[in-house]
Structure 1
Amino acid sequence: MASLKWVLMIGSFLAATSAFAEDPPIVGIDGHTVTFRATKWTMPGVDSATAWFAANGKTFPLFSADVGADGHPDWLSPDKKTLLLDPVVFGMLSLENGEEKLESQQHCDVISMETGCVLAERSPRFCLGKWVGNQWFSEDGEVLTPTLETESPRDWLKYISTINAAQSRADSIESGLTFLSPESYMACYPPVQNVQAYNDLGFYLAEGGRDELALKFYRGVETVGKRTVLMLNIADSLWRLDRKDEAQRYYSQYRDAMSADGKAQKIPRRVVERSAIQGMKN
């Protein structure tokens, strides 16, 4: 029996399509854009691009790094507030004879051109259809009025917190982000309204060894303000990623904040030791 390096399924009716960096951006409401960037894939035979959202001077990927995407101007709603995209994730199928075969899994995702939020996810066939007014009618008869369906971080955490093993918690969060980036997720649920939830998601990821991904959520929380515990969490993740100079700056900020609050005795020993290394450098 053939085995998959990761679980995937694909309908035979829709092949992975390509979007190229030289294609013009899709321009939505208020001049917000989705552009497609050519990407060098490690897997042979992959010909796709990544999708990026830009608005108000900020640019971020709509999907995770290993997800390609395709889109067309006629998938943009008449009011320019909603866009359909066809993301695809690639994997290698290991066959019994030792050979490997490229496989892919696709979705049809609903994107807010106001925020860059991935509002909803459908099967790939859903992208076959047309806009009637600002409702999308698929060829299979499904009708979409764009609304936010992506699960909130608080509801997500209710499930994540029931998983006991740290590694399993981190794996579950990472798999939940296969078809959207942390930046897009936070565009759906702004950090200013979800500080504790994003800090917890970041902590669970870091606890399970996903520090790079954890930092995405920590950085989102950081835009709201420098909370004392957040500075320690960021410092620990940076340290494990061997970004020690940057980590030491956060350790020093954490140490100073704790001292200013009269909590110097509660500062973890590692903070003192790692801040001292920075002090000797200086």
Structure 2
Amino acid sequence: MNSLLAGSLSLLLSLPAFAAPSDAFTQRDLAPPIVGVNGHTVKFRATKWTMPGVDSATAWFTANGKTFPLFSVDVGADGHPDWLSPDKKTLLLDPVIFGMLSLENGEEKLESQQHCVVISMGTGCVLADRWATFCVGQWKGNQWVSEDGDVLTPTLETTSPKDLLKYASSIEPAQSRAESIESSLNFLSPESYMACHPPAQNVRVYNDLGFFLAEGGNDELALKFYRGVEAVGKRTVLMLNIADSLWRLDRKDEAQRYYSQYRDAMSADGKTQKIPQRVVERSAIQGMKN
């Protein structure tokens, strides 16, 4: 995928880059959803944006009882039933990225950039990103042919976590490294990215990406990847990383529970002497409360 809005367009960096929508706006579902393979759906939710002048919906994927946003918090989207492939495995959507353009006089102007993306209705993975006019076309069999004659056979094109980590590892300082990871993800939600590259196959890489994000000041996004790894199975170092991010986000009661789990796991492995002092202090607070 290409970098989005490089240079001039600030994507509202005051908002948590990949946070789930909360007090930023209120929502209601728009009907009907687009129904794909195995009954998986994409729904569009009406949104009251904090940005003046924005009128758009957000796109949500549901499969097997789980729902997650396809795109990050500042991205609107639209789609149509005829953009669903005949086998119902692939859907085209046109996300719109909103941001504020800083003018020379110091004022800010709302700007937007439109794309055409390819969604796997099996997983909720954003497979590929194309220019906006690519969504003007038709399905011929299960291949999309744009009005300009460009042909798409749906395949995974998103950057792998391994390549993302390799690139980020070469960047200093920590804040720039974290920003490079966010930029590489472009407008995808972390849930959609992990649908493309499952945590079970990328345990160490996602833990390291989360650590780099947290080290660079983005604990909210780091936790998204940590939670993905946690769902695969608890790991000692992961418990410490989750605890540290929760602590910095002032979710201290939850953080203390993870510190205690980390301390207990290290003690059980005979590694008590390697437990950081902050863990002892913070988990002890939880122990006093109990």
Deviation for aligned residue 1:99: 4.1
Flag as ranges the 4+ runs of structure 1 deviating above 6 A: none
Deviation for aligned residue 1:162: 0.9
Aligned length: 268
Counterpart CA distance in 2 for 1:5 and 1:58 is 33
Output one character per residue of 1:131-186: Cα deviation in whole Å (capped at 9) or x when no partner.
00000000111100001111110111111111121101100111222311110010
Task: Give the structure 2 partner of residue 168 of structure 1.
Answer: 176
Asked if 1:222 corresponds to 2:226, the answer is: no
CA distance 1:141–1:5, change in 2 (3 Å): closer
Deviation for aligned residue 1:204: 0.3
Deviation for aligned residue 1:6: 2.0
Counterpart CA distance in 1 for 2:48 and 2:174 is 33
**Structure 2 residue identity aligned to 1:180:** L
Task: Give the structure 2 partner of residue 32 of structure 1.
Answer: 40
The DSSP-based 3-state class of the residue aligned with 1:21 is strand
Task: Give the structure 1 partner of residue 211 of structure 2.
Answer: 203
TM-score normalised according to structure 2 size? 0.90
Equivalent in 73, 83, 94 of residue 75 of structure 1: 83
Equivalent in 34, 40, 49 of residue 57 of structure 2: 49
Task: Give the structure 2 partner of residue 111 of structure 1.
Answer: 119
Gaps of 5+ in 2: 1-6, 12-27
Q: Is the 1:21–1:49 contact (alpha carbons within 8 Å) kept by the matching residues of 2?
A: no
Asked if 1:66 corresponds to 2:74, the answer is: yes
Counterpart CA distance in 2 for 1:228 and 1:98 is 49
The DSSP-based 3-state class of the residue aligned with 1:70 is coil
Counterpart CA distance in 2 for 1:277 and 1:105 is 48
The DSSP-based 3-state class of the residue aligned with 2:38 is helix
**Structure 2 residue identity aligned to 1:6:** S
Asked if 1:241 corresponds to 2:245, the answer is: no
The DSSP-based 3-state class of the residue aligned with 1:116 is coil
Equivalent in 135, 145, 163 of residue 143 of structure 2: 135
Counterpart CA distance in 1 for 2:272 and 2:105 is 62
Asked if 1:6 corresponds to 2:14, the answer is: no
Output one character per residue of 1:102-140: Cα deviation in whole Å (capped at 9) or x when no partner.
210111110000000000000111111110000000011
Deviation for aligned residue 1:22: 2.3
The DSSP-based 3-state class of the residue aligned with 1:235 is helix
Counterpart CA distance in 2 for 1:175 and 1:106 is 17
The DSSP-based 3-state class of the residue aligned with 2:170 is coil
Deviation for aligned residue 1:39: 1.8
Q: Is the 1:120–1:148 contact (alpha carbons within 8 Å) kept by the matching residues of 2?
A: yes
Counterpart CA distance in 2 for 1:62 and 1:38 is 15
Output one character per residue of 1:227-250: Cα deviation in whole Å (capped at 9) or x when no partner.
000000000000000000000000
TM-score normalised according to structure 1 size? 0.92
CA distance 1:5–1:130, change in 2 (3 Å): closer
Task: Give the structure 2 partner of residue 182 of structure 1.
Answer: 190
Asked if 1:155 corresponds to 2:163, the answer is: yes
Percent of aligned positions that are identical: 83
Q: Is the 1:86–1:107 contact (alpha carbons within 8 Å) kept by the matching residues of 2?
A: yes
